[in-house]
Each structure stands twice: as C-alpha cells, then as structure tokens.
Structure 1
Amino acid sequence: MVLSVSRGGTIAAALAAVTLASTLAACASSNSVSPAANGKDSGTAQSAPMIPAPSPSASASATGSMPVNPGGRMSPAPSSSPVAQLTAPPANAKYVPIDQESQSADGRTLSLQIEARGGACGQYVVVVKESAAQVGVGLAQLPVRKGVMCPMYIGPRIFTATLASPVGTRIVVDLANGARLGG
C-alpha cells in the first residue's frame, strides 16, 4: 500500500481503516474456539463458543415448577392469581382508567379490562365502593419497587370485582375519573 504525503486526509483515513481491520481480525480470532478448548477432537474449528443449554431439571425451583420470566407472564389473559379487592386503594397506589366493564348474568360480578403493564410492574388491586345509588369500581396500580426491571409489554388484562349485592338499577362508575361504565 503506497500512501502519498501530499494528501494529509488520505493518510489519516488509511490509518483508521488499517486500525479497524486489525481490530476486527483480532475480535474474530478471539471468538473462535479450537476443538481442544471445547473438549472435543472433531478436527474442525467452531466459529463461536458452545454454551450448553440448562437442563429443565437443573433449573427447576424447589416447588418443581419450571423457571419463569422474571418480568412475569407475557400473554394477554385474565389474571390467573387472585387480585386483592379493597374498599380503598393503598397509600402510594394510583388509579388507572378502566377501558371496558361487563357484568355477569346475576349482576354480582364485574369484569374490568384495561391495557396494563405486565410482570412485576403490572401489580393492581381492585377497589369497590358500593352505595344504594351507585357502584364505584377502580383498578389501582401498586408502586414498582426500586431496582425491578419492567418488561416492555402492555396488553389487555381482565380483573374481577365481586359485589355484595347485584348492580340492579345502580350506575357503575370508574373511580379513576368518575366516568360511567357499561352503558
């Protein structure tokens, strides 16, 4: 490679290209694994180190269940674990608006749907305040603990509110914003 001194910018660019090429070559050679280093003598070199996948029995918890994504369940489904139902939200919880509400045939169970965060960042409690004239329902999101990683997932979730008596002629109101629900 012949470089001309009269082209000052060309020399710097050529040096940068040579440096980059040598760095890439060094990276490529450090990522390959020799058969001896891998514990096998197959006579062919591999381009990346072999990392064995953990066996299900080795990573199962003491309860015998499989490991779970630390961010929580990733499919949009009704809450499989029971959610606490309270008459007032916890101190640091914030109401979120309810997207849809539907009632059971007997009017004693309300299904509340929201677009919610998943995993440890999507923990909610159901709040129910009943009176003779109306039923106030709300979903309060619990604060996230510091240091918890939140999955980048938002999807539909359904929560159940159980009433002391059927809705009947009472109106159902969202505690987050006072909006009338269900029609």
Structure 2
Amino acid sequence: MPQEVAPHRGLFPWRPWDILLAAVGAVAAIVFLVVALVVVWPPVATNLSSDVSDGTTAVPIGDAQASVVVPEGWVVQRSGPAVIARTPDGGLSVQLEATEGDAPEVLAALLESADAGSATVRAETLASGLRVVHADAADGVVYAVIDVGGGTVVTATATSDGDYRAALGLLLEGVRA
C-alpha cells in the first residue's frame, strides 16, 4: 500500500501574512534602535568630551591667553574656544570665554544682549589680585567679566538651580592670565 505523503511546510512559509509580519517586525526594530540612539547619544557624547578636574591643572580658555584651574571634582568640557565647568552635582554650569576689551564694557554688552540692562553691576578684586565686574540678571543668570591683563578679559556666564555663589567665586578665583 502506498504511503501517503504529508504536506511539507518549510522553515518559514512565505505566505502574505508571514511576509507582512516580518516587515512590521523589522520596521519596529529599526524604529526602536533609532529612538534609542536619539535618546542615548547626546549624554554619551557629552561624557566622551568631558573630563573631571584634578584641581591643579590649568585649562586654557580660547587661544591660551587665559586659563582656569577648575576646582577638584568639577566636570570640564570644551565647547569650541569656550570652557564649560559644572559642579559635581550639576547644579551650577559656567561657560568661560576669553575675549578682548574693557571689562565693564564687555559686561554691559553681555547684559544688553541678554536683555538684562537694568541689573546692578558690582566690581570686586579677587584674592588672586584680578578685578572682576559682575551682575545678576533677572532670570537668575550671573554674568561676570574678569580682567586678566593685556586687554584680555574672561567672560563667565553662570546658570544654576540654586544659590551657588560660593562655588562660582571658587571657580572665578582659578582664572589666570
């Protein structure tokens, strides 16, 4: 008696629904990977371009006419010619840039560009002997300009989510010519 042959189904039957399900699964996997990269990549890229300060190494600002010794444990990141320093808790972020000019005039231009022209400007001499002029803007941003000599000034734009005035002062003390 002849044996009856059972219908043979391959490993992956190519019926229209199987192809559709495979395509939907592939698209979903690609979308998941793209979204994961968009969410994960910016913080990873920031961490790759940042260092933790040892508290003794001077970080050049701009074309090295000025530098800053960032307090130990702070995160230091380069952003073109600027240096961004953040406290270990991330509550204070300060962008430092070197430029040419007179400190009060540079501060006035910073305040004008930030629509904070009515801020009270204060002048102080740091323990390092350098002169600084600074002002608090209405939005909580602190603008400071340090005269490092030779017509070079360092601008500092500090944003924080609390009262970090002592930490900002510690960072500004580290600015050197």
Tell me the TM-score normalised to structure 1 length: 0.22
Structure index of larger Rg: 1
Q: Which has the higher strand share?
A: 2
